[in-house]
Structure 1
């Protein structure tokens, strides 16, 4: 007798149609419309972790029905698809009305997660765009969303990528794809800027109240700046953003296009476009080929995030009602960023106890890495292994100036001797990843996928889902980038 005979099968994606989610805000916030179908869809990749998060049955996820849903060719139960409107500053310049130009929100799960299709066709906010995404950019976003989650960095997630032979024109003609993104919310700083810029204070308040009540309820009850819930919201968002950017800097992640419309109100990493994990440690590295002024260089990211928060503060000012209170709500950003960054750098060095000389030690190694152009990820992983095995020679080999390394290593070893080396090594190996999504690794997976071979994508996905593991037999994915990697150009269309 089958004990499960009376149990119904696990449901497919089932979205709630109650009035508590983003759709409850009203027509000023979005436009209802269906995705535009694509011909001959096919599977590119799926994430088992996100499927589990959504409670999806594995058999259904592999079905033709799921393929249609996640390509935008069919709507799941309970879905009333919509595209939201927002505005924002792009490259430091007010861009006016923007919005979901190629993303459509299918709806929200009963567990409170929004499910969104990116590349699902034109919307009223597409401006001159075609509303599509290409296979190349969709694979990059899929892989990086899941890689960032595995690194412990707050991020939107990616359930799957589907492809189609439909042509899409970018710098060259490519093929279409759709990536299914998942997050608690896709609300951005730009949503608040949109209504503030139009003097739509009622809608601005509605949005702020929704975000507070749904995601930041402590802003109503906890001690607040001046007893003001909207100032408390600004402070909470500032602190979450500071924590996220500190994690970016520590792992060597460059976002590439930190416009205010790409900044999450929940402090999530969203909108993966011209991102890059550093190869050589070059603090002024600009990963976005479209960023001709270097506004979003790696070492400028912390200050750009603060600038974006200042824009959010201006948008919230009609609700806060006091400029000094708004400015005070931003003060903790720099404190939290510094504290979080230092904590992560101590962990990278295996410093299980905080010491007076930590800042000098951290500054010293970052200066050495920059001066010698040392590969960032390989350095930290080799240093972790060096502490574990008490052999620093492989680390020394990375430096063109070994004398400079020797001086720093002397100070480091003296400090490390005061600690439990086993605990230090264990902390470092769990903090410094062996595998990150380097541009050339993504490019190799993309080239194979364009030929219909998704095996490289699956291998890379598996490594990135457990980036701190050794994965014997896969050292090539953790090696130095090939010479051709430096010629890869990633732009805002990527």
Structure 2
């Protein structure tokens, strides 16, 4: 399972650099169960050596030894510009455990840290931990977060902060940037090793294809097309969709300046470093398509092993054209589900787009609005629907609701059955920025209770949880402008 390529041109042996006096900040029971870590009654490992391991201070527990930690080389495009060699600047892959890879983020310098210190700070580590686990509970493919370990060791970013290490788990951390790296070096042998390993471990059906490497590209592209449709449906903005941040398994990885939509803006930018809006909410699908074009270019030499240059380009170009088709189908299904429409009519797309435009014009809270749609019965009168009050254009929303009720009348499911299904796709709880910020501010004062509480709430995002009702509400006006950057 571990990184498939050996040799200094692909990865460097990189032991973590210890941190002083490590302590638990957060721990995911769910992720621990995934990789078979025995837990005590306090939901922490029974083996106390796990704290030392996940802080980077040791390479073994009572039942696990990680003898060959590495940092890998990759390249990529950042904000649309070729950046050359990048690599794991502060991520160290410890090795395999229970068919997953265990990686530490923030465990010290690597050969690819360049001018960086290889460290992560408490603030960004908590955000990544909470969002990784929240996305998993939302049913969206993602890397997992096992734990955050803190230390009072100072780390300098815009201000003086404290260090933390986030333990990440995934079936593989191979990304588009790995393919781009070896393609840029014209190293077809390494490209082939990388592709063969992915096929053997993660895409076995590709072996039965007439052109296995082309089928591998199609599979990676299809997974990422579906992934970005899921992001759009839940209102998630990644923030930095550089090609080196795109998983070869179609997972959400590299949580940085992400954000869930509060007030809906179709062109919302969650990363204040993204001055051009390249990674705005509405541009995520086209940027992911662009990243798949980068992958196609990198995989071209593999197709040329069995086809002429012209034939290989034609095959990959045709395969790349499947991305928007796959995305559109996944997007349309997701939003039909969000509206409780389980049959398909051509006019549904216009209905969805009209609602999104009305939400944009009135800056309606995204998560609350879609959750509240389940409360509408087929017999409800438009004038009695409470969500009308969230819209400035009352005539516009009334007309939409009239058309929506007409459309619901064509559905065979009863109101209760439809509501139950809608409440399994429209979450009540997401990781809103102001909630994460409050948990971070307490954690910076050594109070981790809010991190634990948020984790428990976000583990059940579709449940009502009446005792946590306030966590489902839109942020107050003075909390709506929290901004996040790439700094971590």
TM-score by length of 2: 0.94
- SS of the counterpart of 2:9? helix
Q: Provide the C-alpha distance between the structure 1 equivalents of 2:169 and 2:286, rounded to a whole number of angstroms.
A: 28
* Structure 2 partner of 1:310: 293
1:437 aligns with 2:421: no
What secondary structure is seen at the aligned counterpart in 2 of 1:318?
A: helix
Aligned to 1:84: 72
- Confirm or deny: 8 A CA contact 1:41 1:164 kept in the other structure: yes
Report the 3-state secondary structure (helix = DSSP H, G, I; strand = E; otherwise coil) of the residue aligned with 1:337: helix
Q: Please name the residue that 1:414 is paired with.
A: 406
3-state DSSP class of the match of 1:161? strand
User: Out of 152, 167, 186, which is 1:180 matched to?
Assistant: 167
The RMSD of aligned alpha carbons is 1.4
Aligned to 1:41: 22
Structure 1 residue 390: Cα displacement = 4.8
Once the 2 structures are TM-superposed, how far is the Cα of residue 62 of structure 1 from its aligned partner? 5.5
Contact 2:5–2:11 at 8 Å: present in 1 too? no
Alignment map for 1:8-407 (pairs within 5 Å): 21-23=2-4, 25-59=6-40, 61=45, 63-76=47-60, 77-79=64-66, 80-109=68-97, 111-222=98-209, 227-321=210-304, 322-387=312-377, 390=380, 393-407=385-399
Match of 1:473, SS state, is helix
What SS does structure 2 have at the residue aligned with 1:451? coil
Choose which of 447, 451, 475 in structure 2 pairs with 1:453: 447
Contact 2:4 2:197 in 1 (8 A): no
Query: What CA distance in whole angstroms lies between the structure 2 residues aligned with 1:31 and 1:257?
Result: 26
Secondary structure of 2:95 counterpart: strand
**Alignment match, 2:309:** none
Shift of residue 23 of structure 1?
4.9
Distance 2:481 2:5 in 1: 47
Contiguous gaps of at least 5 residues in structure 2? 305-311
Count of residue pairs brought into register by the alignment: 470
Shift of residue 24, structure 1, vs aligned partner: 5.4
Q: 1:63 to 1:220 in 2, by over 3 A?
A: closer
Deviation by residue 1:428-479 (Cα, 9 ceiling, x = unmatched): 1111000000100000000011111111111111110000001112111111
Compared with structure 1, are the counterparts of its residues 31 and 291 closer, same or farther at alpha carbon in structure 2 (3 Å cutoff)?
same
Q: CA deviation at 1:200?
A: 1.1
Distance 1:302 1:24 in 2: 31
2:308 corresponds to which residue?
Answer: none
- Provide the residue aligned with 1:469 in structure 2: 463
Say which is worse superposed, 209-218 or 428-437, in terms of deviation.
209-218
Q: Deviations over 1:54-106 (max 9, x none)?
A: 11011371553111110000002331211111000000000010001001001
Contact 2:199-2:206 at 8 Å conserved across structures: yes
Return 5+ residue gaps in structure 1 as ranges.
Answer: 1-19
Q: CA deviation at 1:355?
A: 1.7
Could you say what secondary structure the match of 1:366 adopts? helix
**Residue pair 1:284, 1:299 contacting (<8 A) in 2 also:** yes
| Cα contact 1:385–1:429 (8 A) shared by 2 | no
SS of 2:153's equivalent in the other structure is strand
TM-score calculated relative to the size of structure 1: 0.93
